[in-house]
Structure 1
Amino acid sequence: MTHEEIHRIQRSKQVFINNVDTYASKYIGKFLSESFIGPSLEELTDHDFEEEELSPRDGHQNAKPATYQIVGTIRDKSDSKKCTYTYEEYHKLDRNKLLKQMLECDVIIYNITEYADQIEEASWAVTALHEKMNKFFSPKTFILVSTVMTWALSKPVDPEDPSIPFTDDDYRRRRPHPNFKQHITVEKLVVKLGKTERSQFSTYVLASGLQYGMGEQVFHFFFRASWLGEIPKVPIFGKGTNILPTIHINDLARVILNVIDQKPRPHYIVAVDDSKNTIEDIVQTISFTLGPGKTESVSVEKAFLHRNLTQADIDSISVDLRFEALFIKESLNIPWVCEAGIVENIERVVEEYRNTRGLLPIRICVLGPPAVGKSTVAQKICKHYKLHHVRLRDTINETTAHLESLIRSTYADEDSVEIGSGAQEQLDTLKENMEQNGGRLDDQYVIQIIRDKLKSKPCQNQGFVLDGFPKTYDQAKELFYAEEEEGEDMKTSKKITPEIIFALDATDAFLKDRVLNLPESEVEGTTYSYECFPRRLANYRDNNMEDETVLNFFDELDIQPEHIEISSSDDVDYLVVMEKIVRRVGPPQNYGPTSEELQEEGRRRGEAKLKKQAEEAAERERLEAEEAAQREARWEEWSRQLEEVKRQENELLEAQSVPLRGYLAQHVMPTLTAGLIECCQNRPSDPIDFLAEYLFQNNPDVQ
């Protein structure tokens, strides 16, 4: 290896990727950031870039393979945390600054498979770089990640044999889907500009198959519907016979890595795997592995009724194309992840889907004495974490109801007679055993029913809360120990053994007092009656005083139970208990609310707020009206009382003035009147003295 080659390997390359926070760009960037430069080159693969190959005689004892530095734009800045695999991130740069950043990179990757607004930007980017290529400090590579949808309406290679696949050499005859005409325009531009001076500026178009893996994109609707289990059959839109060209997102990243390393001669490369799966094959496999195991064919038009499916998704899953990626097979060095396609690698893909989206089941068991509140707590846990409540009596009833339904549905179907016969036999066995045991089932049947429930797809997908079962060490051992057909090395089945145990407890006095205070309607016909409950409680205490208890069983598995003491009846909503449980379990590990559900919740809260404000305003108006009416009534009452007081005062004054008036009229007024008349006739200078003198002289008493 020459000094120049070693230096080239040692120098890291900077790779620009647009929308590095979206599905395809994210996993391409993440893969490249973890890759070394040059491993796909044939002359370097034998050495595998180990340090001893760069020996001291070359002067590079400490030399290590160089890596890729990922820089790029981000679409969403709501999350302030930078991606762990990026060196630099940019948000809403103007084009001058964006071009400046791309000029500093060795490789520019533009992904136009996800957002249509990136098509025009990709066209501008390759044109602007081409205009500046004479000023490049080093050669640059431009890679356009496009889609096979630009082939959607291509005529068959051989009209008499439509099964003959397209190859990379047929790219000039491709015809796009009507909604992907802009994609083919920028594809042609990229190919054209790469032919001028490829030593300085080499360009490539990768026609990517429908991408899958690492959480899913196009097929996410089917994965989500299967995982949630909310519908009995997963829909297949259309006839289901159309063949979908696909590629795992990490295999697409490997193709890109090869193109960067090798700079092949062809400008147009079809990037698909070897599968020839139909949409029916894919959906059935997803449903069987992750969901109810059943599908139904519906019209393509019904796909538009699902808000989680975009127009691009519907167009993609409706395409019918066969490809043979000859160039990738013959010229590139790719260690495939899923060369055979999604169907053949469904177990791996499902595992990626669960881990990437954090859809990990939560398995909980709630134990404790009778009346401690196990079922109430279990229901609250299920509601908070969206888990399945596994209760013994409910599960038995559910099983018998399912068997009866299965018998009814297969009664008229000759092809299903054997299934119906088996269901009838199983149902008869259960009923006979219950009749022999006074309505109870033997442990062998109970354990099988609970085991089947825990192994059901809903419990395996979301998780479960096992309520008050198992009750004994032997039951736990039989229930959770791995069956031989599972092929597991561990003693217990990891798929159904609870990860978290909550042991509720309370004093006997507290429990008896709680039961005594229950309403008669709740106690009647149950084991909480005065006659039954003390015996049940005593049996529970006896079973848990032995050396081999259910809690001991979990201790042996290094699953330490979380003990929670119930000591107060005031916390009817178990808020304190739930706080401890949530702190122990952690956040939910399932789908949060969708954007539509968040909008609906926001609308509902807005309506509730407006309704509350309207009610408060109406209440204020009512109170103000009542206060005004009360003030008016009080004013009228006060006025009425004031008038009455005045009347009474007048009557009193009138009554008091009668004798006074008589006295004045008899003894005072005659003399006073005569004095006033005399004063008026004489008009003295001092009328008051005159009147006083007159009254003194003419006082009848003096005379």
Structure 2
Amino acid sequence: MVDVKPRDETFKIFLNNVDSFKGKYILSYLYKQGFEVAERDHQESKKFDFDFNKEDEPVEDLKPVKSESARRDVEEGKDKVVIDARLSVTAKPTVAQLTSLNSKYKIFGTLMDYKKFKEDASYEMVGETHEQFKKVIRMCDCVIYDITLDEAQIPKALMALDFIEKKCDRQEETCTKHIAPVTFILISTVMTWALTPSMDPIDPDPVPFNESDYRRRKPHPNFKEHYACEKEVLQRGKKMKNKIRTFVVCSAVAYGYEENILSFFFKRAWNNDKYLPVFGKGTNFVPLIHVTDLSKVICKIVDTPSLKNQYMIAVEQTPTPLRFIVKYISRTMGSGKIEYINAEEAFLYPEMDQYVFDHLTASIVLEPVFIIEKLHIDWKSEMNLVENIEEIVEEFKVRRNLQPLKIFVQGAPCTGKSTLSRLLSEHYNLSIISLNKIMSEHDEYVIYLKQKLSNKERPQSPSTLNAENLKGDRDAEYFLGLMVDDSEEENYQKTASETRKKLLLEYLMNSSSERMSDERIVRLIRNEMLSNESQNQGFVLDGFPRAFRQLFKNDRMRYLDHDDRPSSVFRNHEKLMPNYVIVLDSSDEFLLERISRTPEKEVQCTNYDDRDVIRRLMFYREHNTTDWNPSLYFKDCDTDVIEIDISEFPSQNMDCIFYICKKILGPPRGFGLSTKECEDLEIAKKQAEKLRLEKGELEKKLQEKKKQEELEAKMEVMLKTYHEENIRTERKFAPIIDKYRQFIATKILPILTEAVIILAQKQPEDPIDFLAEYLFKNNPHGKMYNPKYTRDGEKLINENIY
């Protein structure tokens, strides 16, 4: 019997790039699976049941809690027994007795972007330092490496495998007991099969490859490093099969939730592009797998220690061509139309990169034999994306928080409903729905059909008209939706658009009056609101319902349900209920004065005149009383109703009211920035910061230069002023200076020159004293011996001593 060294209570797992698309779902599923494994272990452990009637189990050894309720439970023989925790240290409590359950798995993970790290209880972050990475890898029982998104992870995966091998060798040398093998799972890509030659290249429905054909696989030129990494992992697993369990999971294109590669099509469909592009002919098979199913495969490998080294394919059971993927995304979420473009034109789309293009243009047909026969996972998407497209689209909208913004703008005539609707539509990128717009889009066809019907006998029904009277006429067929080129395979026309055309035709055929009934108006509006374009981003419903009867068809009391809440045409369909209802109103006097101040051109555009305004106001007041009006119904349905008196904001262009609505409705809704857009934004910020610093340095230099120029200008002015002042001073003192010069030349310089010459010849020790004494004694004009000219003599003379 093999002596197995007991493992720690927690099973340590390493997972790289836990913030990537696949990584975060694998992490989430592993974290959840850890609690399920812990709970299963407790359920399978020895139960904490005691029978006090057995003789071999004395009651006194059990230390019951001293509470009366617990003692009474024991005496009554109830199953639930409360026992002191000190009873047994080794016994495992049951799940019912656990106050908190710890996960069986302890997960370590690295990040793609460490700047966006947030505290998360599901894993412990591993730093970028080599020593910390090495330490974590050596302590883990399972290492999962995903190399599909980043080629830089390939050398790190092989480095981690080196650490595991050295750890196993060291344990084998130092430990006599058997160590459970470490599990290494490499998540690779199906692009290593991209150029594998098919068994029958002519067959449009090729035979799928499975795990037994993995030696035949030929990689795409851009994925040769992934292929080499797969081979290296498999070879090392065979070399150390008793120490390391190695698995290569060949992952198909993962989809689901917020989407990754397929987000290119989902985003364009949600943005209401007229056509979704299909690259090439679209007959290539794109292997897919839901990211939840991929996570289940990884968790099943981790949770099944009996599995041996294996190469397995993680892919859906039914392959799907690219054109069907694009077509059904367009049908469910977009316009319903697709467009075939050259493969080279794909890079004209800014979101397209080489990685996405390679996966969408490769044709790979694979079959997950090992997963189906051995793992027996509970598939979330057992068939394929096309069959579950509605659920996938709903997942995408929920995870991306793409709930449509539906706004009803109601109110009396001349309150600016259309102007506000246009402003809201432009700001929030919403479509405007109004009866006038619906009718104006088909004015030309209406005129044509009227002429057509006037020349022909009126048929019995619209179907007779469609099939016989107008078939063969290109314009009429286009209008009726009959001319659809391969609608099942190519350009699928939306049901809402077709229904609208048939309703208009029915109105033209069966209506003798020019006015359309409320029932037909409601049907037209409902079809517009249910279109994909309106359900993606939302819509602004302009001026509907105008009256209570349009909301509840005919009799308002007839449509009251059991809880006395009116059931309107919107209540039965959750997609039609608005998020906000904006009601514009004011006094009749103000509205009439407002229309009188409206420019004549705008009045002509709205077809309003004084008589028409009065008639419309009377109709609105009659059908929208205080007790019965559409806003009361929406309030009753807990819809936010914004009531605005336009007389408080008299600006003609609705700027103030639009500003108020923006503050209430919030910012525009849509996609956040993609990874590439975030990188571009980061680069733009750095470039802007660099330009700002350079601009600051340049401005500083310019300021210094300007100061230097100003200083030089001031110095020049100062020197000029000083020079002029010197000239004026010289001119002023020139006569005096000549007199002084003559005096010095005749009286001082001769004796001074003689004294200096003698001083230079004799060079006495104290030249200054010698010079002074010489001048004193040898001054030819001096009177130094006259007491009158000495200081003492002058003093004596002044004191009358002599």
State the TM-score, normalizing by the size of structure 2.
0.66
Structure 2: distance between partners of 1:99 and 1:576: 62
Query: For the Cα contact (< 8 Å) 1:410–1:420, is it kept in 2?
Result: no
The equivalent of 1:150 in structure 2 is 192
Q: CA distance change for structure 1 residues 267 and 402 in 2, over 3 Å: closer, same or farther?
A: farther
SS of aligned partner of 1:367: strand
Mapped pair 1:56 → 2:118: no
For 1:534, the aligned partner's letter is I
The equivalent of 1:87 in structure 2 is 123
Q: CA distance change for structure 1 residues 412 and 375 in 2, over 3 Å: closer, same or farther?
A: closer
Q: Which runs of 5+ in 2 are unaligned?
A: 50-90, 172-178, 450-465, 484-497, 560-567, 700-802
Q: CA deviation at 1:578?
A: 4.0
Q: CA distance change for structure 1 residues 48 and 13 in 2, over 3 Å: closer, same or farther?
A: closer
Q: CA distance change for structure 1 residues 491 and 376 in 2, over 3 Å: closer, same or farther?
A: closer
The equivalent of 1:557 in structure 2 is 637
Q: CA deviation at 1:513?
A: 3.0
Q: CA distance change for structure 1 residues 491 and 377 in 2, over 3 Å: closer, same or farther?
A: closer
1:478-506 alpha-carbon deviations (Å, 9 max, x no partner): 4999xxxxxx9995211122122122333
Query: For the Cα contact (< 8 Å) 2:269–2:335, is it kept in 1?
Result: yes
Query: For the Cα contact (< 8 Å) 2:409–2:540, is it kept in 1?
Result: yes
1:116-156 alpha-carbon deviations (Å, 9 max, x no partner): 22223222222233233345797532211101110111233
Query: For the Cα contact (< 8 Å) 2:277–2:339, is it kept in 1?
Result: yes
SS of aligned partner of 2:206: coil
The equivalent of 1:589 in structure 2 is 669
Mapped pair 1:111 → 2:173: no
Query: For the Cα contact (< 8 Å) 1:411–1:420, is it kept in 2?
Result: no
For 2:473, the aligned partner's letter is Y
SS of aligned partner of 2:277: strand
1:269-311 alpha-carbon deviations (Å, 9 max, x no partner): 1111101211122111111111111222222122122221211
SS of aligned partner of 1:303: helix
The equivalent of 1:627 in structure 2 is none
Q: CA distance change for structure 1 residues 127 and 573 in 2, over 3 Å: closer, same or farther?
A: farther
The equivalent of 2:162 in structure 1 is 127
For 2:436, the aligned partner's letter is R
Structure 2: distance between partners of 1:70 and 1:579: 49
**Aligned equivalent of 2:238, options 176, 186, 195:** 195
The equivalent of 1:75 in structure 2 is 112
Structure 2: distance between partners of 1:123 and 1:265: 20
Q: CA distance change for structure 1 residues 260 and 297 in 2, over 3 Å: closer, same or farther?
A: same
**Aligned equivalent of 1:241, options 280, 283, 293:** 283
Query: For the Cα contact (< 8 Å) 1:503–1:561, is it kept in 2?
Result: yes
Q: CA deviation at 1:333?
A: 3.0
Query: For the Cα contact (< 8 Å) 1:396–1:449, is it kept in 2?
Result: no
Q: CA deviation at 1:114?
A: 1.3
The equivalent of 1:681 in structure 2 is none
Query: For the Cα contact (< 8 Å) 2:503–2:520, is it kept in 1?
Result: no
What's the % identity of the aligned pairs? Answer: 33
Q: CA distance change for structure 1 residues 399 and 416 in 2, over 3 Å: closer, same or farther?
A: closer
Structure 2: distance between partners of 1:525 and 1:586: 32
**Aligned equivalent of 1:23, options 1, 21, 24:** 21
For 1:239, the aligned partner's letter is K
**1:352-363 pair list within 5 angstroms:** 352-363=395-406
SS of aligned partner of 2:593: helix
Structure 2: distance between partners of 1:405 and 1:307: 42
Structure 2: distance between partners of 1:290 and 1:20: 30
Structure 1: distance between partners of 2:479 and 2:598: 49
**1:513-532 pair list within 5 angstroms:** 513-524=593-604, 526-532=606-612
1:390-417 alpha-carbon deviations (Å, 9 max, x no partner): 1231122225568899999973499989
Query: For the Cα contact (< 8 Å) 1:11–1:66, is it kept in 2?
Result: no
Structure 1: distance between partners of 2:114 and 2:340: 40
The equivalent of 2:563 in structure 1 is none
Q: CA distance change for structure 1 residues 524 and 417 in 2, over 3 Å: closer, same or farther?
A: closer
Query: For the Cα contact (< 8 Å) 1:12–1:37, is it kept in 2?
Result: no
**1:5-24 pair list within 5 angstroms:** 11-24=9-22
Q: CA deviation at 1:172?
A: 1.7
Mapped pair 1:457 → 2:532: yes
> For structure 1, which segment, 445-454 or 96-105, has the greater mean C-alpha deviation from structure 2 after superposition?
96-105
Structure 1: distance between partners of 2:419 and 2:160: 60
SS of aligned partner of 2:415: coil
Q: Which runs of 5+ in 1 are unaligned?
A: 482-487, 618-703
The equivalent of 2:301 in structure 1 is 259
**Aligned equivalent of 2:34, options 25, 33, 36:** 36
**1:466-477 pair list within 5 angstroms:** 466-477=541-552
> For structure 1, which segment, 198-207 or 267-276, has the greater mean C-alpha deviation from structure 2 after superposition?
198-207
Mapped pair 1:66 → 2:103: yes
Q: CA deviation at 1:525?
A: 5.8
Structure 2: distance between partners of 1:157 and 1:302: 31
> For structure 1, which segment, 47-56 or 318-327, has the greater mean C-alpha deviation from structure 2 after superposition?
47-56
Q: CA distance change for structure 1 residues 478 and 396 in 2, over 3 Å: closer, same or farther?
A: farther
Q: CA distance change for structure 1 residues 572 and 202 in 2, over 3 Å: closer, same or farther?
A: farther
The equivalent of 1:377 in structure 2 is 420
Aligned residues: 590
Query: For the Cα contact (< 8 Å) 2:480–2:502, is it kept in 1?
Result: no
The equivalent of 2:617 in structure 1 is 537
The equivalent of 2:576 in structure 1 is 496
Query: For the Cα contact (< 8 Å) 2:530–2:576, is it kept in 1?
Result: yes
Q: CA distance change for structure 1 residues 315 and 88 in 2, over 3 Å: closer, same or farther?
A: same
Query: For the Cα contact (< 8 Å) 2:42–2:92, is it kept in 1?
Result: no
1:451-486 alpha-carbon deviations (Å, 9 max, x no partner): 1111111001111111110112221234999xxxxx
Structure 2: distance between partners of 1:56 and 1:556: 55
The equivalent of 1:443 in structure 2 is 518
Mapped pair 1:577 → 2:677: no
**1:240-639 pair list within 5 angstroms:** 240-263=282-305, 264-400=307-443, 411-412=473-474, 419-420=481-482, 427-431=504-508, 436-437=513-514, 440-478=515-553, 491-524=571-604, 526-545=606-625, 547-569=627-649, 574=654, 576-592=656-672
Query: For the Cα contact (< 8 Å) 1:29–1:85, is it kept in 2?
Result: no
SS of aligned partner of 1:436: coil
Structure 2: distance between partners of 1:547 and 1:218: 54
The equivalent of 1:208 in structure 2 is 251
For 1:551, the aligned partner's letter is S
SS of aligned partner of 1:307: coil
Q: CA deviation at 1:602?
A: 6.8
Query: For the Cα contact (< 8 Å) 1:33–1:85, is it kept in 2?
Result: no
For 2:22, the aligned partner's letter is A
Mapped pair 1:226 → 2:262: no
Query: For the Cα contact (< 8 Å) 2:287–2:364, is it kept in 1?
Result: yes
1:180-238 alpha-carbon deviations (Å, 9 max, x no partner): 1000111112222223434543221100111111121222212222221122x222112
Structure 2: distance between partners of 1:410 and 1:36: 67
Q: CA deviation at 1:71?
A: 3.0
Query: For the Cα contact (< 8 Å) 1:411–1:417, is it kept in 2?
Result: no
> Rg: which structure is higher?
2
1:103-124 alpha-carbon deviations (Å, 9 max, x no partner): 3433222111112222232222
Query: For the Cα contact (< 8 Å) 2:333–2:393, is it kept in 1?
Result: yes
Q: CA deviation at 1:158?
A: 6.7
Query: For the Cα contact (< 8 Å) 1:140–1:200, is it kept in 2?
Result: yes
Query: For the Cα contact (< 8 Å) 1:37–1:261, is it kept in 2?
Result: no
